[in-house]
Amino acid sequence: MSGLDLKGRVYLLTGASRGIGALSARQLAARGAHVLAVARDELALEALSRELEAEGRGALTAIKRDLCERDSLVEWAEELWERYGPFDGVIHNAGVDDFQPSETMDPVALTRQVDLNLTAPLLINRALLPLLLAEGRGTLIHLCSVAGYLPTPFGAVYSATKAGLWAYNEALAIEYAHSPLVFISVHPGFVHGSGMHERHKARAGRAPLALGGTSDQAVVELICRSLARAERARSGPVIVNRNPTRPLIVLTHAMPRLGRWLMARLARPYLARVAGVEPHSLTDRR
């Protein structure tokens, strides 16, 4: 990522305390950006801020916030703009997965996924869109997932939130096609190095090669490159994953029944182990 200069730019980054978020904060700050790093874990944010300060790698402001507390989220985002703005962009990275059988999923866990993965970005953007439009610039990046394209057994709620976030990004890109704003959705597969899939591997091992995968570095490189080249970037979705993911996505959407059959055989056994249950064969279903 050498040569990507973000000096003087200000970015709001959610979910910044660990995983892709923390790595993004490091890379953005290293390129001169002022990162407004949002997360619930204040201690982790402060440790990250001290680390960057000690290395002389740019500015990071730690902001503690539970984004599931949605009642005041619009006002909170407006206050951030008033205090630290204008922003050059927003990276909606905060998210959570919870792989469980859908019929026994904890309603609290279900609601938290929807609030954090989908509702929070919508409310934050509601606050910031008029401000970004008035400023005449801004890049909004929504961290989605390949799970938003492919039906994800035992992760149905996660899949639904990421599909919703992708559709939302595309709708905004069309709605504001004649504005200077850029809307990008990033769709990683199983991310190795840090993040959710490291937890999956601890329980179920590495995802099958047929399902593809990527690295946390590749995802962050794409984020930084998109922000650095915002004036030339095209709004739209970007898949960060090895083949055969792309052909599988196309096939699933063109031929849904065949896509279901393939996902049942390629993904269901592994994701059942992630969820901590024994996978059932298709012949067991009535």
Identify whether the C-beta of residue 93 lies closer than 8 Å to the C-beta of residue 76. Answer: no
Predicted local distance difference test score (pLDDT) of residue 18? 92
At 139, which amino acid appears?
Answer: T
Pairing of strands 34-39, 10-14: parallel
- Residue 282 reports pLDDT greater than 70: no
185 vs 281, which has greater pLDDT?
Answer: 185
Residue pointed to by tokens 């898949």: 239
Residue partners of 185: CB distance under 8 A and separation at least 6 = 141, 142, 144, 165, 166, 169, 170, 236, 237, 238
- Residue 15 reports pLDDT greater than 50: yes
- Residue 193 reports pLDDT greater than 70: yes
172 vs 7, which has greater pLDDT?
Answer: 172
- Residue 281 reports pLDDT greater than 60: no
Predicted local distance difference test score (pLDDT) of residue 284? 45
Predicted local distance difference test score (pLDDT) of residue 165? 98
Tokens of 222: 């794409």
Tokens of 169: 């990004």
Q: Average pLDDT for residues 95-116, to the nearest whole number?
A: 95
Strands (E) across the chain are located at: 10-14, 34-39, 59-64, 89-92, 139-143, 182-188, 191-192, 214-215, 236-240
Mean pLDDT, the chain, rounded, equals: 90
Predicted local distance difference test score (pLDDT) of residue 174? 95
Confidence of residue 4 (pLDDT cuts 50, 70, 90): confident
User: Which domains, and CATH codes, for the chain?
Assistant: 10-284 (3.40.50.720)
Predicted local distance difference test score (pLDDT) of residue 236? 77
Q: Average pLDDT for residues 232-251, to the nearest whole number?
A: 79
- Residue 212 reports pLDDT greater than 90: no
List own/partner pairs for 76-83 with CB under 8 A and 24 or more apart: 76/127, 77/123, 77/124, 77/127, 77/128, 78/127, 78/128, 78/131, 80/12, 80/36, 81/127, 81/128, 81/131
Residue pointed to by tokens 């809307």: 183
34 phi and psi angles, rounded to 5 deg: -95, 115
